[in-house]
């Protein structure tokens, strides 16, 4: 038999996951599709729901597809880090008479050289790549990796953009009606009945009480944009969520210090510095990457972290933003986070120059750093 192996957090399973599963059977001719929920992934793929709840939700879906198998090999191996080459080798033992095809996203293929023992992965399975966005070079990259690691890697089919992280944000906000087209009813009912995805209720309540409605909604949209694009930088859900929600937590407030103590007299910039202080003091944020992303989300800075670039872009490109050039900057995300960040800095500098507005020194330094 031909069996597709589809791994992931499935946190939660959504309609695009289901489309991939169905296409594996209908377009690739698979006899079975194994769903392999993550247990202890080596990369930043932490889950919000427990492993048991995620498996239960998968079983609710699998009851409607007789060709779907829920495989708990990762849990059974109970490895400190569930590396793909180990898990897939175990699957190959269990399905020794079958051909296994491992489904991965195009973003994963681009980082395939960084996987642990890619050559051993290709001894256990063939790989079929699911593309999304602007993936015009995937066929050539698949060919290069096939030759390099002496295996079979090829294009599978394309998928639409969907984000489990964005869905989790809507669940945190209890916007269940808006998810009816994205999450199947049995899983949505399970989530409501078991009170899943409500870890940020206290932060959301506090943030809403301390911000103007307009700013609060902007923070939600910024978090949503950042979560939808977190896969581009392989960032952790919680870090992206917190940085996105709290980036403007000081917006509209009086400065915490005397203005002369800040590196800028501009209130439009000062709020980023105070935001980091409020996030640390009032919301208990200790992760320096999160604080740094908040601290420089307006100006940017040289050698910014991937999380920082993501929040900077999300703040300026969230769907509520309307200004000349914003659509082109959003499209630039498909060319990579660094490319989009560089263009956004350039756009900001040119906009300020044409209006004779003084440009913050950090913005100029960042602009020169990324446009050398």
What is the spatial distance between Cα 171 and Cα 36, in angstroms, rounded to a whole number?
Answer: 23
pLDDT in tens, the chain (372 residues): 999 999 999 999 999 999 999 999 999 999 999 999 999 776 655 568 999 999 999 999 999 999 999 999 999 998 888 899 999 999 999 999 999 999 999 989 988 999 999 999 999 999 999 997 666 688 899 999 999 999 999 999 999 888 888 899 999 999 999 898 899 999 999 999 999 999 999 999 999 999 999 999 999 999 999 999 998 888 888 999 999 999 999 999 999 999 899 998 888 899 999 999 999 999 999 999 999 999 999 999 999 999 999 999 999 999 999 999 999 999 999 888 999 999 999 999 999 999 888 889 999 999 999 887
Ordered structural domains, the chain, with CATH: 2-165 (3.40.50.620), 200-370 (1.10.3210.10)
Q: What per-residue confidence (pLDDT) applies to 162?
A: 86
Inter-residue contact 219 to 207 (CB < 8 Å): yes
The radius of gyration computed from the CA coordinates of the chain, to the nearest angstrom, equals: 22
What Å distances lie between residue 335 and 12, 156, 220, 237, 342, CA to CA?
28, 21, 25, 22, 11
pTM of the predicted model, to two decimals? Answer: 0.82
Q: What per-residue confidence (pLDDT) applies to 358?
A: 87
What is the spatial distance between Cα 74 and Cα 36, in angstroms, rounded to a whole number?
Answer: 8
Task: Determine if residue 71 is left, alpha or beta; phi over 0 gives left, psi from -120 to 50 gives alpha, anything else beta.
Answer: beta
What is the distance, to the nearest Å, from the Cα of residue 200 to the centroid of all Cα atoms in its chain? 17
């Amino acid at each position: 038999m031909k069996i597709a192996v589809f791994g992931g957090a499935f946190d939660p399973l959504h309609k695009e996951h289901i489309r991939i599963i169905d296409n594996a059977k209908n377009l690739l001719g698979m006899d079975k599709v194994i769903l392999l929920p993550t247990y202890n992934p080596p990369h930043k793929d932490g889950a919000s729901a427990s492993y048991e709840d995620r498996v239960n939700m998968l079983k609710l879906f699998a009851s409607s597809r007789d060709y779907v198998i829920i495989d708990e090999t990762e849990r059974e191996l109970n490895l400190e880090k569930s590396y793909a080459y180990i898990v897939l080798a175990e699957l190959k033992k269990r399905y020794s008479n079958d051909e296994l095809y491992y489904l991965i996203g195009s973003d994963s293929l681009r980082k395939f050289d960084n996987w642990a023992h890619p050559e051993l992965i290709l001894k256990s399975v063939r790989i079929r790549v699911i593309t999304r966005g602007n993936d015009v070079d995937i066929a050539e990259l698949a060919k290069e990796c096939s030759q390099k690691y002496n295996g079979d890697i090829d294009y599978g089919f394309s998928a639409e953009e969907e984000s489990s992280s964005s869905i989790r944000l809507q669940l945190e906000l209890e916007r269940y009606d808006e998810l009816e087209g994205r999450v199947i009813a049995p899983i949505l009912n399970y989530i409501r009945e078991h009170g899943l995805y409500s870890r940020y209720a206290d932060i959301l309540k506090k943030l809403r009480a301390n911000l103007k409605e307009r700013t609060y909604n902007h923070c939600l949209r910024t978090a949503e944009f950042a979560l939808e694009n977190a896969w581009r930088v392989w960032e952790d859900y919680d870090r992206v969520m917190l940085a996105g929600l709290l980036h403007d937590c000081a917006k509209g407030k009086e400065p915490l210090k005397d203005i002369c103590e800040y590196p800028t007299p501009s209130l439009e910039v000062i709020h980023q510095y105070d935001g980091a202080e409020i996030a640390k003091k009032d919301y208990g944020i200790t992760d320096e990457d999160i604080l740094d992303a908040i601290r420089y989300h307006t100006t940017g800075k040289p050698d910014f972290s991937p999380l920082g670039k993501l929040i900077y872009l999300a703040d300026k490109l969230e769907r509520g933003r309307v200004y000349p050039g914003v659509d082109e900057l959003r499209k630039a995300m498909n060319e990579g986070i660094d490319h989009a960040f560089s263009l956004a800095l350039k756009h900001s500098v040119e906009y300020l120059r044409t209006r004779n507005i003084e440009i913050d020194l950090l913005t100029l330094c960042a602009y020169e750093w990324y446009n050398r």
